Chain A
């Protein structure tokens, strides 16, 4: 694939015209707000926007010494690790078996990827409904088994609820990528190993999994970003950050504080999230560049 085109068109003004729509949109709706967020995080204004004063990194210092913020940081990390690990291992399991099966594989594929179309908010609503302590069918079964499930009062239960909803939502996406990754492993490698006497289990660990590592790494960063940001609707629908603030992940807290008109604080929170995201993107890019392409 060429990095540059050899044959190009000559025109002074046409490229600018073509770029204009996207340029205007991202200037007004991306760079301007992003810059504003940076600026506001370094300032302090009173609640009615009367006076603005420069406070440097004070807002950030305030965040680090705020136990509620630190708690939400910890909650987010726990939540993300659970979502990434569970989401990826379950979908890998399904993908490996779907890759193996000859009959019905396209049916399984269709039946396993449709949740991609489910909006995260709906996933939150569905799992809330099933696990709701009073009307949920699953919580009825749990109670019948003697498990005192109550996601409205118990923070572990609430965390379990949002993890389950988030993992359920992401399985199809991960499954698709793992399936594609497995399909791109040359059959000759597998056959050679089988001829040498390697059983399927051994083949998985020594050949398939290592060759899947670019996919694994890619999915880790996608799932991490998903868990950090795109699970807001799940939390909002299923637990509203509760009980108390025990499932208040960082993005949820950010929006909550923004709605409470705490401008500079939420701007500082935005900047922290931005930095985390940029770090994740940079790490992912560096890794992809170092990997050999087959």
Chain B
């Protein structure tokens, strides 16, 4: 910082490295466990170095087996379900929020502020507290076990609208004036100027909402009953349903790895936007 303090710097590195190790330890254990057979894991203590069964385990997990007491559904299908959910939620939310934020910021119409507050209220109650009645609504629309039923209720919150509204308010007035002078209508302005300007926010929101959609657990648990519509986070839970000693831990850990890789990739590849977007959104 300001003064040279080699002792403090050394302590800093020690603590940071310790932090990294503790954070990474579960991941390491999962990687190792996913490369052994179930029998090897059950022998306490389980081996701490990777084993030779990597390809076999991952193939078994992805394609589904018939051996365990819990769920045997193929993980490949579950990854597909999770991917569809994550993409639908991220893209759906971004699209409808861009439109709503544009309407609320750039137009004057009766009940405008009421609409804004109505949208804002949805920030206060995440899906967990309205799980029961939302289930009834979705069931009565016949959307149980469908992608629509799993994703649309999760698009109903206003995080993205709020962010875009904040951003739109910082866009200089001159741009709108110039567009109007050139005879551009509102939608032209929206497409050609506003959306390109918002690309950083859109990217950041995409990361956050993709992760949100990929990790959704409670709602899909309620909204699906057939195992070919389970996202991977639910599937892994059911793989452990047979109880501790009957769970194929090597396959469970392989599935856990598969469940972690896509969102981790998205975060790491888009890290710059993600960090900026996360900090800016909430403040």
| Interface residue ranges, A against B (CB under 8 Å) | 1-3, 5-12, 14-16, 18-19, 21-23, 25-26, 28-37, 40, 90, 93-94, 97-98, 100-101, 104, 108, 110-123, 125-130, 132-135, 137, 140-141, 152, 168, 171-173, 176-177, 180, 190-191, 194, 200, 218, 222, 225, 229-230, 232-233, 236-237, 251, 254-255, 258, 263, 266-267, 270, 273-274, 277-278, 281
Contact = CB atoms under 8 A, between A and B. Distances in A.
Contacts of B256: 122, 125-126
A97 to B, nearest CB: 4
Contacts, number: 309
B244 interface: yes
14 contacts: A5-B169, A14-B187, A23-B100, A34-B125, A97-B13, A113-B275, A119-B260, A122-B236, A122-B256, A129-B249, A135-B46, A135-B244, A230-B128, A232-B128
B96 interface: yes
Interface in B219-260: 221-222, 233-234, 236-237, 240, 244-245, 249, 252-253, 256, 259-260
A97 B16 contact: yes
A54 B33 CA distance: 55
A26 B122 contact: yes
Contacts of A36: 133, 136-137
Contacts of A100: 1, 8-9, 12
A134 B245 contact: yes
Nearest to B171: A5
A117 B1 contact: no
Interface residues of B, number: 111
Task: Determine the main DSSP class of A at the interface with B.
Answer: helix
A8 B130 contact: no
Nearest to A3: B169
Contacts of B176: 5, 7-9
B244 A132 contact: yes
A190 B187 CA distance: 49
Contacts of B283: 218
Contacts of A229: 126, 128-129
B9 to A, nearest CB: 7
B160 to A, nearest CB: 9
A114 B267 contact: yes
Contact of B130 (A6, A33, A141, A278): A33
Given A9-B186, A22-B119, A94-B16, A177 B132 contact: no
Interface stretch (B56-64, B70-78, B105-113): B105-113
Interface of B: 1-3, 5, 8-9, 11-13, 15-16, 19-20, 22-27, 29-30, 33, 41-42, 44-46, 48, 95-97, 99-100, 102-109, 112, 115, 118-119, 122-126, 128-138, 152-153, 155-158, 161, 166, 168-170, 173, 176-177, 180, 185-187, 189, 211, 214-215, 217-218, 221-222, 233-234, 236-237, 240, 244-245, 249, 252-253, 256, 259-260, 263-264, 266-268, 271, 275, 278-279, 282-283
Contact of B15 (A29, A32, A97, A119): A97
Contacts of B249: 129, 135
Most buried by B among A11, A26, A273: A26
A125 B173 contact: no
B217 A119 contact: yes
B180 A7 contact: yes
